[in-house]
Amino acid sequence: MEHKREIWDTIYLIALQGFNYVAPLIVFPYLMIVLGAEKFGYIGFSLAIVQYLMLIVDFGFNLSATKRIALARENQTELSNIFSATLFAKLGLLILSFIILLIFAFAIPRFSIYSSTLLILFLMVIANAFSFVWLFQGLGKIRIISIVNIISKLLILPLTFIFVKEPADYQKAAFILSLVYILSSLITCGIVFNNKYIKNWVKTTKKQITEEIKASYPIFLSSAATSIYTALFVIILGYYSSPSEVGKYTAVEKIMRAFSYLIFIPISQSFYPKISSMSKESKIEPSKLVRKIVFTISGMMIIVFIIMFFFSGILTNQLGKDFLGTTVLFKVMAIVPFFIGIGGAYGQLGILALGNEKEKKHFQNNYFIAAAVSLVSVVILTPIFHSLGTAIALLITEFAVCILMIWSYKRMK
């Protein structure tokens, strides 16, 4: 069977990631019901800030370093250089992210009510800096990461049902969510060191660290632009609306993204290193593979649309009376997964995995354009329609990303 390993990796990861995304679909609705819209809004807003800080620490390494490791996996010296430089770059960015956290938590009066939750959830950022996803993915050992994530969630997330019983327990909920990341990173570090995936430890230099940052910079800018309509939307909604409105929007968006990422991420993680390696020989065969992947993702995202659109009333009722009125949010966001899947496939597997530095620039520019669209949309719609306006702005933006990625991919061929 052609691409047998990648296909089985995808099936394996979907099965494993199924738990990774089903678990939040169990835990987060529980938190939504127990904490209510207001206190869940505290967590939703703080997670949006934390997502930005993780973006800074990741800095695009999960794509740039992954590709460089995939190409250098047989060269231990080069592999060690990439690993050391990437790790020290992430540590420097971690310090920067903590300074930004302090500004948000204590220097902006409007956001001071979220300060304690922000500090607790920052533990996620610290732990995520040592997750080494980029190393495992580049080495073709992504199954390990999935297994580690499952073990961490199995051990930690059940604590939510034991210790979180009322709205006042929202800080306990935040700490338990952080513990999942902490345990996962501790296990991952142990695997890296015990299995000697990096056999020759080298002393990195400032020049090597700078090179890794430069290689990731275009991807970081693209991710930063993307975060405008993921994390920043929640922050803007939090500025104009109450924690309750934030909680409603965050609840629906998290369910939507859980469905979307359950499909897209395993496929992307399985085929990105493969397509990157194939691109060294020829563009024809990997291009055919990208088309097949797009077709597969399209069909699966249509199923997500059917679930979210036609069963939105059932989903809303399950969340409880604090979330009445979110049915329309489910319907608006139902089409978003289709655009996420198609745009993501053409962008990551098409433009980034197959393209050169010029194509990376197009990839980056697409997100700049989308960011502009998103900012205009959310600034106009959110003050008027609150959570509904934010949801519509998200739909407009993801549609723009999808169209831009398709156009750029077709042009590069």
Q: Is the dihedral of CA 413, 343, 64, 5 positive or negative?
A: negative
At residue 393, the pLDDT reads 95
Alpha-carbon gap, residue 394 to 335, rounded angstroms: 11
Mean pLDDT of 375-402: 94
pLDDT tens per residue across span 269-327: 777 777 877 777 777 778 888 888 889 999 999 999 999 999 888 888 877 777 877 89
Average pLDDT, the chain: 84
Confidence of residue 24 (pLDDT cuts 50, 70, 90): low
> DSSP assignment of 18-78, as one string?
HHHHHHHHHHHHHHHHHHHHHHHHHHHHHHHHHHHHHHHHHTTHHHHHHHHHHHHTT-HHH
User: At CB < 8 A and 24+ separation, what contacts does 26-31 make?
Assistant: 27/157, 27/160, 28/251, 28/254, 28/255, 29/251, 29/255, 29/318, 29/319, 30/160, 30/161, 30/164, 31/160, 31/164, 31/173
Confidence of residue 213 (pLDDT cuts 50, 70, 90): confident
> DSSP assignment of 7-28, as one string?
HHHHHHHHHHHHHHHHHHHHHH
Of 71-75, 178-182, 301-305, 378-382, the poorest mean pLDDT is in 71-75
Alpha-carbon gap, residue 247 to 258, rounded angstroms: 16
Exposure letters 201-228 (e unless 16+ CB within 10 A, then b): ebebeeebbebbbebbebbbbbbbbbbb
At residue 412, the pLDDT reads 74
pLDDT tens per residue across span 239-255: 888 888 988 998 899 88
**pLDDT at position 96 over 80:** yes
Residues 189, 198, 217, 225: what is their CA dihedral angle, to the nearest 10 degrees?
-30
pLDDT tens per residue across span 115-173: 999 999 999 999 989 988 888 878 877 778 778 888 888 888 889 999 999 999 999 99
At residue 217, the pLDDT reads 75
